[in-house]
Amino acid sequence: MFGKKYTVGVVGALGMVGSEMRRTLERRKFPIKELRPLDVPEAEGQTVEFRGKNYTVLAAQEESFKGVDIALFSAGAEASLELAPLAVRQGAVVVDNSSVWRMDPEKPLVVPEVNAADLKRHKGIVANPNCSTIQMVVALKPLHDAARIKRVVVSTYQATSGAGKKGSDALTEESKAYLETGMVQQSKGFQHQIAFNCIPHIDVFQEYDYTKEEYKMVNETQKIMNDESIKVTATCVRVPVWYGHAESINIETEKKLTASEAKKLLAAAENVVVIDDPQKNEYPMPLFSNDRDETMVGRIREDLTIANGLNLWVVSNNIRKGAALNAVQVAEALVKMKLVRVP
């Protein structure tokens, strides 16, 4: 698949997603000539191992991007807003995991299984979508192509690691405290106790009392699918799971799709695994996502309340496909499509 080798920068290289980006690049044998791990100035001088070789972490600044072909960013919105244009100025193509560029009309928002063709119009920066949106559109794309989706109602069950290391650490610490003392003094990662609890609140509340996370799913889905007519309503919930987002998705289509037809379409879709045998208690669960890259779909059944409706249960690893893996897949697509250059 690959011929030329590339210098790849990872910004936020020591963070949860940045570390997974490094592991993903190694696991997928990305054609790397040089890995350049970049992070905050305080981390400069630390080392990371990649393919049996130690690389020194550098402070992320404009000079650090000299000679970098592809820069994978996972350092937060402020860092991306400041540093991504500087990386582009040095000749790198940026794949950014923050939210800052996602709805910029000049920046393609890409899930390779869904809209890789949008990469052709990049001007140096490609946005990586929100984790909950990524797995949903991977499952929706084959159904939309076959029957055109009119409306989506989605409820998410999102793992604590979606809030970063502090989120997963909060679940660990609170669970221990609750089991030992029967109470949690104060959550260090969330608005309320997350151990043995569910919180229907991810990100800040906005207009009409929907959260920013819920609006992300609405707006990003329409942009990725290149169809603003798709109506999406979302309720996003944080649940006491370390890894693996789950989603209950109800769709209404223009054309009738039976559950059997939907299963066949999904089973044939790229990087989708159907796990759906109710008689054997087989369906996707976050536990299954720990070491998987695929998006898993199950509980596929017709909505008996409308003529053209389906229900799906979708699970994926939010740190892998929801962040690091999707970014690396975008980089792979850029290489394959010979778009590793700044126009």
Structural domain count of the chain = 2
Same domain (yes/no): 121, 269:
no
Would you give the end-to-end CA distance of the chain in angstroms? 23
Number of H helices, E strands in the chain: 8, 14
Same domain (yes/no): 147, 18:
no
Residue-level pLDDT at 1? 53
Same domain (yes/no): 89, 150:
no
Q: What is the pLDDT of residues 161-210, one digit of tens each?
A: 999 999 999 999 999 999 999 999 889 999 999 999 999 999 999 999 99
Q: What is the pLDDT of residues 226-271, one digit of tens each?
A: 999 999 999 999 999 999 999 999 999 999 999 999 999 999 999 9
Between CA 236 and CA 151 the distance in angstroms is 17
- Give the pLDDT band (50/70/90) at residue 10: very high
Same domain (yes/no): 268, 287:
yes
Q: The whole model's pTM is what?
A: 0.96
Q: What is the pLDDT of residues 102-157, one digit of tens each?
A: 999 999 999 999 999 999 999 999 999 999 999 999 999 999 999 999 999 999 99
Same domain (yes/no): 121, 161:
no
- 197 inside domain: yes
- The H-assigned helical ranges of 205-256 are 212-224
Residues labelled as active-site residues:
131, 245
Between CA 326 and CA 135 the distance in angstroms is 10
CATH classification at residue 105: 3.40.50.720
What is the average pLDDT score of the chain? Answer: 96
DSSP one-letter code for 45: T
Whole-angstrom CA distances from 108 to 249, 309, 329 are 25, 30, 14
Between CA 42 and CA 37 the distance in angstroms is 13
Report the 10 Å Cβ neighbour count for 46.
14
Bridge pairing between strands 125-127 and 93-96: parallel
Tell me which residue range forms the domain holding 238: 133-318
- 285 inside domain: yes
Residue-level pLDDT at 257? 98
Q: Under a CB-based contact definition with an 8 Å cutoff, are residues 73 and 12 in contact? A: yes
Same domain (yes/no): 308, 194:
yes
- 271 inside domain: yes
Residue-level pLDDT at 225? 98
- 343 inside domain: no
